A = this chain, B = another copy of it.
């Protein structure tokens, strides 16, 4: 063998090999932007991205892909020596989990947009990344291109975060915003969201709050340096929100939003705990979150030193999600070229997860009651007996029945639930139409 004379040539640009797993809307955008921005990416990384292959389950469905790149054998692609970083944009949990773990265990950094995977398996993934000394990036898993993971992991790394709260699901925000603006019912607006492509054929994961709950788990983990899983998140969706609820909220100066709420709370016993929950919430119309319309997302952060921050933008879609994936890819590639690691999973605080009953909330209770003397006193007594004080009471009469809308002061969720259960047992209460929580000021 002869030594090549390289003494007078410029140093070669380092090459970073990338495996793309999945070629749906996001995968296509990722591939497109890698191609279009090749020169910019090379400068920003200090090295050149080369896509080694794209793993798909059925190549026939991807005639637009370079046949030399397509493979159905994701594992073999991951394990190629010339692959440094694996980008996972498949979706689902079990199969991508197997692939992401294989990648991390093989010493490859991973960029994923998969919120369900990260929320369900953060421990296994975080530990595998730490063992291998590689990066696990997932900015795209929460609110797509809106930088939220990065700010929590880095910008606020010297601060103490008390609350992260936001609109992190575009489908439900589209539906609730449209209900608020038109007065139409949930069913009508769900259909419109489906017709316009804002909701999937099976909208369950969105409308029942599961998607938002995955994001809440991720945000709470980052904010509180504590492992919070999907199963730790109390989750209620929007399918029971009625046009009457929206109208009643509006009359009282609120709009209904599906919020993911992550809070550091102090229990009765003085113990610091973490609460993560998703439920429809009455937000005062003056609050910045109230004006987040259509399918936009917004995340509100309150930290001790920084005060109140808000991040707003497109929370979904191929291009915005690809923007976040590419930002992460540049970070992971820089680390491959220059050394260094992104912040790993941080769980040192290890705070206990609060029961939902330990959370302090305010309630908006809408009831039909008998229109007779003494009913209000009877109902007020039920609240008082459970230690819940009333803030406003509004009564409307119709044809011998009365509609009573009660807004409470802040109280423990368990006391409020017990109050509602007791109200339902009162003969004077014909029906409890809805129970909604209010945003804590």
Contacts and interface: CB of A to CB of B under 8 A. Distances in A.
Interface of A: 29, 33, 37, 40-41, 43-44, 139, 144-147, 150-151, 154-160, 225, 288, 291, 303-314, 317, 319-320, 322-331, 334-335, 338-341, 343, 346, 348-349
A316 to B, nearest CB: 11
A318 to B, nearest CB: 9
A320 B302 CA distance: 11
Contacts of A314: 306-309
Nearest to A139: B155
How many identical chains are in the complex? 2
A33 B303 CA distance: 12
A340 B339 contact: yes
A155 B150 contact: yes
B150 A154 contact: yes
Contact of A313 (B33, B44, B310): B310
A43 B346 contact: yes
28 contacts: A33-B159, A33-B305, A37-B160, A40-B160, A40-B225, A43-B225, A43-B349, A139-B155, A145-B156, A145-B159, A146-B309, A147-B147, A147-B155, A150-B150, A150-B151, A154-B330, A158-B327, A158-B330, A159-B323, A159-B327, A304-B319, A306-B314, A306-B319, A308-B313, A309-B314, A339-B340, A340-B340, A340-B341
B44 A346 contact: yes
In the complex, which of the residues A41, A312, A323 has the most CB atoms of chain B within 10 Å of its own CB atom?
Answer: A323
A325 B147 contact: no
B145 A306 contact: yes
B306 A323 contact: yes
A37 to B, nearest CB: 7
Contacts of A156: 145, 147, 323, 327
Given A150-B155, A157-B330, A225-B43, A320 B335 contact: no
A79 to B, nearest CB: 25
Contact of A334 (B37, B304, B331, B343): B343
A235 B339 CA distance: 41
Given A157-B44, A310-B311, A319-B307, A340 B346 contact: no
A349 B39 CA distance: 10
Q: Which 10 A-B pairs have the closest CB atoms?
A: A340-B340, A158-B326, A145-B306, A147-B155, A305-B323, A309-B313, A306-B323, A157-B330, A43-B348, A147-B151
A307 B320 contact: yes
Contacts of A40: 160, 225, 349
Contacts of A151: 147, 150-151
